[in-house]
Structure 1
Amino acid sequence: MIRVKTYISHSSIHGIGLFAGEPIPKGSVIWGFDEPLDQRFTPADVAKMTPKMKEFLSRYAYCERGTLVLCGDHARFMNHSPTPTCGNDPTRRFTLALRDIAKDEELTDNYSTMEDSWEPFAGIIEPERME
């Protein structure tokens, strides 16, 4: 669940993005996995889903430790950037501000370092990723 004030708006990166609703100091926790709002799905779970559900997950979930993680809040609108404002803590339990982030600045993450390979889901679902 998002731990700082944010809002969604038009993004110059891709469609809709997540933006800082207040200044966020470097090192602040931006997001943490909180059940039941946030959910994890195994390959067996996903295999039972309808094509529409799989399409939704391919767009908004990310792969971590052999599961797909779906953020239940606006965190799913965080876009990719090769120079992100946010990143994982060493335990990968939280998303942190990598630097001071100004109010109204888009919150981004580097998908290639944020998530694991989707290999456990090969033949079940393919990720939709924007560069």
Structure 2
Amino acid sequence: MLRVKTYISNSSIHGIGLFAGEAIPKGAVIWAFDAPIDQRFTPDDVARMTPKMKEFLSRYAYCERGTLVLCGDHARFMNHSPTPSCGNDPTRQFTLALRDIAPGDELTDDYATMEDSWEPFAGIIEPERM
């Protein structure tokens, strides 16, 4: 769940994006997994889902340690950037600010370093990526 003030708005990167609603200092925790707001799905869970549910997950979930993680808040609107403002802490338990972030800046991450391979879901669901 998001730990900082944010809002969603039009993004020049990809449709809708997540933006800082306050100044966020480098190193601040942006997001952490908080059940039951945030959800984890196994390959067996996803295999039982309808095509519409899979379509939603392919767009908004990310793969971590063999599960799909779905952010239950607006964090799912964080877009990819090769020069991200956010990234994982070394334990991969938190999303941190990689630099000072000004109010109104889009919060971004690098999908290549933030998530694991979707291989556990091969043949079940394919990720939708930009």
Does TM, scored on the shorter chain, surpass 0.5?
yes
Once the two structures are TM-superposed, the CA of residue 41 in structure 1 deviates from its matched residue by 0.1
Once the two structures are TM-superposed, the CA of residue 49 in structure 1 deviates from its matched residue by 0.0
What is the TM-score of this pair, normalised by structure 1? 0.99
Residues 1-131 of structure 1: matches in 2 within 5 Å? 1-130=1-130
Once the two structures are TM-superposed, the CA of residue 105 in structure 1 deviates from its matched residue by 0.1
> What letter corresponds to residue 45 of structure 1 in structure 2?
D
1:64-114 CA distance string (max 9 Å, x none): 000000000000000000000000001101000000001000000000000
Matched residues in 2 for 1:85 and 1:110: separation? 9
Matched residues in 1 for 2:102 and 2:10: separation? 17
1:14-56 CA distance string (max 9 Å, x none): 0000000001000000000000000000000000000000000
Runs of 4+ more than 2 Å apart: none
* RMSD after superposition: 0.2
Can you give the 5+ residue segments of structure 2 that lack an aligned partner in the other structure? none
Q: Give secondary structure in 1 for the equivalent of 2:18.
A: strand
> What letter corresponds to residue 120 of structure 2 in structure 1?
P
> What letter corresponds to residue 26 of structure 2 in structure 1?
K
Percent of aligned pairs with the same amino acid: 88
Q: Give secondary structure in 1 for the equivalent of 2:24.
A: coil
Count of residue pairs brought into register by the alignment: 130
What is the TM-score of this pair, normalised by structure 2? 1.00
